[in-house]
Structure formats: structure tokens, C-alpha cells
Amino acid sequence: MNFRIEKDTLGEVKVPADKLWGAQTQRSKENFVIGTEKMPHEVVKGLVLLKKSAAIVNNKLGQLSKEKTDAIVQASQEILEGKWNDQFPLVVWQTGSGTQTNMNVNEVIAKRANQLLMEKDIKEIIHPNDDVNMSQSSNDTFPTALHIAAVLSVENYLLPPLKQLKNTFHQKVQEFADVVKIGRTHLQDATPLTLGQEISAWHHMLEKSERMIVESVDYMKELAIGGTAVGTGLNAHEKFGDMVTEEISYFSNSHFVSATNKFHALTSRDQIVYAHGALKALAADLMKVGNDVRWLASGPRSGIGEITIPENEPGSSIMPGKVNPTQSEALTMVATQVMGNDVTIGIAASQGNFQLNVFMPVIIYNFLQSCRLLADSIRSFNENCAVGIQPNYQNIKYHLDNSLMLVTALSPHIGYENAAKIAKVAHQEGSTLKEAALKSGFLTEEQFNQYVDPSKMIHPTK
């Protein structure tokens, strides 16, 4: 392998000749051989978007030449378009401020920008710290990129499939509005409802989760840029933070604002904790939905079997013909991962010592993983399971007709205790509810048929 010599404040470093990064990236690559988890590219893109915006603003403020600005902007745009994805090799497990990833971005942009200047025979030299990192510190750039990455991932990646599943459930609510079935509480028989009503709970869960997520994301739209090292804004123009935030909003097609208190913006990660809490709430709802679906589809002959779901693949390597609720299993496994990520994020966010939180890489890694897994699993569950849910009318009717909890409809007419006696007799003797009711002498057959009508038990008394 061919190498070139790069220098930083600690001295010379050998860097592979075909790489755009410099000395500080190479040092991090060699000093942190920990795990396989790479810094998410969403974070890199957030930093690059910031560098592009900062160069434009520094030029407007008269601090960066047009030639350097144009080169930095073009190099940044190439990265944003995915041209140099292989130039960002650093792992999550590095400095907790993300300084090394910030410098990785600075070095790659500077190297590529200098190549562009050479192609135009422009003699200026772009420095990764002095020019690309002008008016910035890793302490305000990384939390800024963290928020950009988190916001855009939620808005562009998670919310669309969430809307799709929500719409699927809405259609099922309407489609199965008249399918009366038995309800269940404590995994025991309860009073009737419709399959549409049952699914309406799933639909409303997603509606609520969507609103909570959107509301929580607004808090992450405050950006730390302009605070520099400790929040004072040293070495940055007083208008720098506001102006950069405007550029970021324009390029990202999202509305970001400059944090009013930069000291808070550098040291506290409460906003992303709050936002991930909304993701955890969604995960909890998805756990319930996934479990409901696999319970209701259990069987095919020894379970509840009140709905059917698509048969996507063989379910067993030993039992021929077996088909399992695999989409529910994938969805619920993702839910457990998101819940675990929430613990990590909460603990990491508590480590804001004095003017800086130094657990930021692990925070954003876990947040983006939750966002990505939720989006992918929701999309998969919707396309491969939810859209294909259908009632098993035979089993629904059997369970409804044989449920002892239809006796609840008799309570207003013969009293709770008498109704309970009827249910107990039916259960002990293995008779139908109607047989036990007529045997009790508390009411006539005509009265029983009038009172015990499941179709009249799915709404409040009129």
C-alpha cells in the first residue's frame, strides 16, 4: 500500500495515499479499534451540511474568500450526494465529544476542496481547522449534527411508513366494522366488540404516537452552532449561529432554529432523550399490536385463530406445513431493542459534565438505530402482514356463541349475583349459557333472546 505523510500538532502520520482523510482521522482509526459500529452516515451528512452552510455564512461575513467558499461548498455537495462515502471510517467508540468525526469531515472536505482548487489552478490552500472549521468547535458542531441527523431521520425515514401502517389499520377498521367477536381481558373471555373496534385501538395508538413523535422532534430543532467551545461563542461572529441555522433549514427542507442558550445546547441532551421517549412509546404500542396479531392468528387448530395473516415462508425445519407469525416476531424484537436503546440514551445523556456532554456518539448511534429499525420493521409488517389480515368468521362465531361473558347483558335485568350463578352453572356443567339461564328460572327464553344479543352489546346503552 502506498502512503503519504500528513501532519498535525502531534507530528507526522502515514495515511493511505488513496484516502482523502488526514492525520487526525488516521490517529483515531488506529487508536480506537473497538467494535464494528461505524459512525452513522446520517451524522456525517449532518456535519457536512453544517460545513457547507458555515462556509457560505463565513463568506457573507467577510471571513472566507469566494474561492475557498466555492471549493468547500462543492466538496461538501459531492459528499452529500454520496460520492465519498468510503472516506468516513471512524467507529462510534471514540472521543465522547465526536471531535474525531468532526475532524474526519473537516479533513476530507479540505483535501477534496484543495483538489478542486488545483484543478482550477487557484493557489489558495484550504486548512481543515482554519477554513472548514472556521467559527466552529467540535463542541457545537457535533451536537448540531446530532440534532440534524435525528430530526431528518424521523421526518424523512420513520414518519412515512408509520403513516402507511396507520392508513392500513384505518381501512381495516372500516372493513371489519360489523364483524362482532368476543373481547378478552386478562387473557380471559370478556364482553363482545367488533373486529373493527379492536383494530381501532391499534390505529389510534399510531395516531397518538405520531403526534407525540412530531411534537418531540420540534425540541431537537434547536441547534447548538454558534456556541463554539463552551457556549460563549468565542471566535465566532455574533450572527454566525443564526445565519448558519437559516442555511441549514434551507438546504435540509426542515425548520431549524438557533438555540437561545448555547450553554444548555452543548451540555444537555434532554431534547433527544425526550424524542427517543416518544420512539419508545411507539415501540411499546407496536409490541402490543404485534402480540395481539400473533395471538389472534394463533393455531391454526389449537389456538384462537380469529384472524388469518399472510403465509410468507415455511415456519419450521422439522414440522412440515407449519407457518409462523414471523412479521410479528420481527416487529416485537425491534421493540425490545428500542427499549434497550432508550436506557442507553438516558444514562448517556446524564453525563453532561460542566460545559459538555461526552457521550454523544453513543447517544446518536442508538437513536438512529431505533429510528431505522422502527421504520424498517413497520414497513415490513405493513406490507407483509397487516394489509393481509382477514377475519376467520367460523372461529369468531364459535368463540362468540360459546362465551360465558355474554351473561353480562343479563345483569341489568336479573342482577349481578344471579347472572354470576348462571355463568358458573354453565361453566361447571358444560352447558350453553342459554341452557343454564332457562334452568335457573330467572328469565324466559323470549327474554334471554331479547337481552343476550351480541350485536347490541358493542356500544353503550341507548
Cα–Cα distance, 81 to 253 (Å, whole number):
16
Considering the chain, tell me which residue range(s) the CATH 1.10.40.30 domain(s) occupy: 403-456
Angle, CA of 142, 147 and 151, to the nearest 5°: 150
377 is known as an active-site residue: no
Domain 144-394 = CATH 3.20.20.80: no
pLDDT at residue 69 greater than cutoff 90? yes
Q: Which CATH class is domain 403-456?
A: mainly alpha
CATH class of the domain comprising 3-134: mainly alpha
pLDDT confidence band for 188 (50 / 70 / 90)? very high
Q: Where in the chain is the domain with CATH 1.20.200.10?
A: 144-394
- Say yes or no to pLDDT of 29 above 90: yes
Whether 181 shows a pLDDT value over 90: the answer reads yes
Q: Are 404 and 436 in contact (CB under 8 A)?
A: no
Based on DSSP, count helices (H) and strands (E) in the chain, helices before strands.
17, 10
- Give percent of the chain with pLDDT exceeding 70: 100
Annotation says 186 is catalytic: yes
Q: Catalytic residue among 255, 258, 316, 431, which?
A: 316
What are the residues whose beta carbons fall under 8 Å from the beta carbon of 112, sequence distance 6 or more? 20, 75, 78, 79, 84
Residues linked to residue 184 through DSSP beta bridges, in sequence order: 189
- pLDDT tens digits for 245-285? 999 999 999 999 999 999 999 999 999 999 999 999 999 99
In the chain, CATH 1.10.275.10 covers: 3-134
Each residue's pLDDT tens digit, 338-354: 999 999 999 999 999 99
| 8 Å CB contact between 198 and 182 | no
Report helix angle 360-384 to 138-153, nearest 10: 10
List the catalytic residue out of 153, 170, 186, 298. 186
Q: Is the pLDDT of residue 63 over 80?
A: yes
State the chain's mean pLDDT as an integer: 97
Rounded Cα distance, 225 and 133, in Å = 12
Instruction: Render pLDDT for 225-239 as a digit per residue (tens, 0 to 9).
Output: 999 999 999 999 999
